[in-house]
Amino acid sequence: MRKNIVAGNWKMNMVNDQAKELALSVVENSDTVSCQLIIIPPFTAISDVQKVINKSNILLGAQNCSQHKSGAFTGEVSADMLTNIGCSHVIIGHSERRAIFGEDNQLLSEKVNHALNSNLIPIYCCGETLQEREAGNHFDVIKRQIEEGVFNLSEDLFGKIVIAYEPVWAIGTGKTASADQAQEIHKFIRSLVLEKYNETIANNISILYGGSVKPDNAKEIFAKPDVDGGLIGGAALKATDFIAIATSF
């Protein structure tokens, strides 16, 4: 069943005491939230945050995982390690991983498969840069990211993932795609899923918008028929803003 989801990506912010305080504030103010909340702290804070949220309905995610199950991969974190400490979700293919760390669609496809094999739900990110949009290539870019990253999955496995559309030009810039622009891309992604799989899967997959979502624009964006929530960055670092966004449905 298609879910409304608001996931907070804390990125490389919050040492453990700060993370616990923020998580507790989210828990204490989440009683008015009807959508699924996911908190995604840095690796070092995951265990402490899990202890704070473990009796709530809030789920726990990680910001990345390795494509490898185990072995001599210094500095990497496997999906099994994440599920073992309470994670249910993992972000794969965030634009910062693509742009800064050079992760391509083939590598991300391997990470998606590894996560699913470990019962971890991927939040698979796609999105275009400003240059790609201005050149009119944004549909081709997104189609390629989706096809090469997740269309190798069986119907059963694909039905378990979440997709997040994040226009790279609207991340951390203060710019936001208009609600109509977000709807246009979300509808396009859903049409790709329909063409590849079937109507049931296309109608049931949750597609989140990520790109400078704030309390004052969330309601308009979330009102669009193909937008099922948000992958929230900066606004997730303040509990009141995060909760305000989550109550915007």
User: What residues are annotated to the active site?
Assistant: 94, 166
Where is 6: in which H helix or E strand?
strand 5-9
Q: What is the DSSP letter of 115?
A: H
- Strand partners of residue 208: 164
From the list 175, 159, 156, the residue with the least C-alpha distance to 167 is 175
In angstroms, what CA-CA distances link 52 with 27, 91, 108, 152, 244?
8, 21, 30, 37, 20
The answer to whether 29 and 63 are in contact (CB under 8 A) is: no
As a whole number of angstroms, the distance between CA 118 and CA 200 comes to: 25
In angstroms, what CA-CA distances link 176 with 32, 118, 153, 208?
26, 34, 31, 14
Q: What is the DSSP letter of 126?
A: E
Amino acid at 34: S
As a whole number of angstroms, the distance between CA 219 and CA 27 comes to: 21
